[in-house]
Structure 1
Amino acid sequence: MKKTIFFLAALTAALTFASCDKNNGNNGGDTGTEVSIEATKTGQWHYFSFAQNQELGVADDSDTSWKERTDWDIAINKYSIRTNSGDSTTSGQGGVYTCEAGVTFASLTAVPAGATFEADKTVTETGMGGETTTTKSTATVIQFQLDANGDKVMPPVYLPSPVYIFRSADGSKHYKVSFTQYQGIGADGATVSGRVKFTYAEL
């Protein structure tokens, strides 16, 4: 009887350890870490580090000091995203790979062979406020439903973005990211855009 009890206890401990080990691994197979970013103000970028799991600071679009820094991996301004790459940096080696439709956060366990990472570019866009020029990634927190002419449906209809793989600023690590929220409820009960949530895990 004592041997049976000891065996069951040992088996339970082994299973518990195996479960914890799986959840704490960095092979992309865990449930990930959830992050909330209050990027509700247009023109302000929130800079985030995956390695440190924290927001490093907030800066206006005109603040170029962050181009010199390599401690941030992504930045968020409402639905726009920056990676520490291309025109957003002087030396960063970040970038983004957009996963194919049908790829889920859970199913993605490694960087696909031959994956090409896109760098940030400076773009000029025309909107209700006229022309604006900014530097950003092709990745976005959400996507917009388009009409037959390729224009945004108005009022906007938000669609989920695909799963992304972001390369770290130093180019040594890769993180899968799923954006799960763009809008939240404010203190007055109204819907607020830019209350971003995402889940990430190292691959």
Structure 2
Amino acid sequence: MKPRFLWLAPWLALACASCSDSAGTKDPNTADGGGSGNPNPSPDAGHDWSVFSSGTEVRVTVPESGRAYVRFDPPGAVQVSGDPKASTDWDLALEQYDVYTNGGASGTGRGSAFGPIDAPSYSAATPPQVPLMFTDKTGGAFVKWYAYDGDTHVLYSRYHVAGIQDGTRRWKVQVLGYYGERDGAPVSALYKVRYAELFADRVGDTVEVTNLDGTAGGLTADPNKTSEFLDLSNGARTMLTPAAANASNAWQLGFRRDTIGANGGVGGPRGVTSIDFDDAATAGEALAQVKTRTADGEKARFDAINWASFEGKTLRGDRVISGFGDAWADRNARTPAYAAWVVTSAGGEKKYFIGFTSFENATATSPGTVALRIKPFKE
């Protein structure tokens, strides 16, 4: 059966493939429960990797296909019997250059993650404040649509332009805002977007839509609460529950809290694919820079996209996203990021600091043997 979009996860945090079945528990060949043995080579001598000297080192070999699993208590690499998605015997899963937590779209646990955090925070006497924990969810071109201000807890649109393809038809979409007004009071998750259909010889009229209702009853993400879904082909707006959206072809884009999803891949049955034309710029976008952007100032970015902009590009259906995203590794350099994460265990009651310290025998599709450090996070 084709998977459907999992609208139950309230927050953001990559490709979802079939989980490999394995038997047994802890694998002594891939875990060093006490952090003994030779130190891992530093992937970047320009950083002080000694900040990760505390905690327990775990070494896990990530296969070219399939998944490797890590447990936090006791720390180690594990093999999981039966259906891994139904198991709470693991806390992290590594698949090629993706990391997942055991929660939301990835598992039946209550796992979640927040990061990246500055690497020295891992060993700081006073741990950082963590405002949000992100549960794994599905997403695609809109995964990075906003920048988050942790001081004010405000979301700012990056004004990236997304390309949407549905069969032979194409659109461009730009998110203009996340905050609207209801009964004279400001309300989050009331979206404003603009879009236009693209043709080989011209661009259609620009349409602006306001107050797209992604509130879904608030932060509780009750699956029985509806949110709004948009059909770009005719402008129809439909309120649907997550279950109804999973079975519906009546929409192309869905809005639920901070999540924008497309109806394709694990996102739904319609076969919609998408791309963020500005994705490559995300890593260099400072929050201060994003906060200065306006709908008028970013109109030129929107206007620049046409039918030909899609040529030679890879569009994909939605997929599973975690709080690690692409930030935990430099795939081109085949090195881990100099950063830390806070991760909730599958049981949901404990948080841990995680830092990745080296990749050994990495390839284009797998980081090889990954060394990571795990220690309890003291709030």
Matched, 1:53 2:75: yes
Q: How does 1:124-163 map to 2 (within 5 A)?
A: 124=140, 131=316, 134-139=319-324, 141-143=328-330, 156-157=332-333, 158=335, 160-163=337-340
Mapped to 2, the partners of 1:194 and 1:87 lie a distance apart of 25
Query: Do the aligned partners of residues 185 and 49 (structure 1) sit closer, same or farther apart at CA in structure 2, a change above 3 Å counting?
Result: closer
Q: How does 1:11-22 map to 2 (within 5 A)?
A: none
Query: Do the aligned partners of residues 161 and 76 (structure 1) sit closer, same or farther apart at CA in structure 2, a change above 3 Å counting?
Result: farther
* Alpha-carbon offset, residue 84 of structure 1: 0.9
On the 8 A contact 1:48/1:54 being kept in 2, the answer is yes
Tell me which amino acid in the other structure corresponds to 1:116: L
Which of 111, 116, 127 is equivalent to 2:132?
A: 116
On the 8 A contact 1:93/1:168 being kept in 2, the answer is yes
The residue number in structure 1 matching 2:370 is 196
Tell me which amino acid in the other structure corresponds to 1:197: A
Tell me which amino acid in the other structure corresponds to 2:63: T
Matched, 1:81 2:99: yes
On the 8 A contact 1:142/1:182 being kept in 2, the answer is no
Aligned to 1:105, the other structure's residue is in SS state: helix
Mapped to 1, the partners of 2:79 and 2:119 lie a distance apart of 34
Aligned to 2:133, the other structure's residue is in SS state: coil
Aligned to 1:87, the other structure's residue is in SS state: coil
The residue number in structure 2 matching 1:69 is 87
Give percent identity, aligned residues only: 24
Query: Do the aligned partners of residues 123 and 88 (structure 1) sit closer, same or farther apart at CA in structure 2, a change above 3 Å counting?
Result: same
Aligned to 1:166, the other structure's residue is in SS state: strand
On the 8 A contact 1:79/1:194 being kept in 2, the answer is no
Tell me the C-alpha RMSD between the 2 structures: 3.3
Mapped to 1, the partners of 2:362 and 2:130 lie a distance apart of 41
The residue number in structure 2 matching 1:100 is 117
* Alpha-carbon offset, residue 196 of structure 1: 0.8
The residue number in structure 1 matching 2:16 is none
**What TM-score do you get using the length of structure 1 for normalisation?**
0.61
Paired residues, what number? 151
Q: How does 1:20-39 map to 2 (within 5 A)?
A: 31-39=54-62
Deviations along 1:95-123, one digit per CA (max 9) or x if unpaired, are 0011433644211654x445210011224
Deviations along 1:63-98, one digit per CA (max 9) or x if unpaired, are 9x22211221111113210101111123x1110011
Give unmatched runs, 5+ long, in structure 1.
1-28, 145-155, 187-191
The residue number in structure 2 matching 1:150 is none
Greater helix share, 1 or 2? 1
On the 8 A contact 1:79/1:182 being kept in 2, the answer is no
Aligned to 1:67, the other structure's residue is in SS state: helix
Query: Do the aligned partners of residues 77 and 161 (structure 1) sit closer, same or farther apart at CA in structure 2, a change above 3 Å counting?
Result: farther
**What TM-score do you get using the length of structure 2 for normalisation?**
0.35
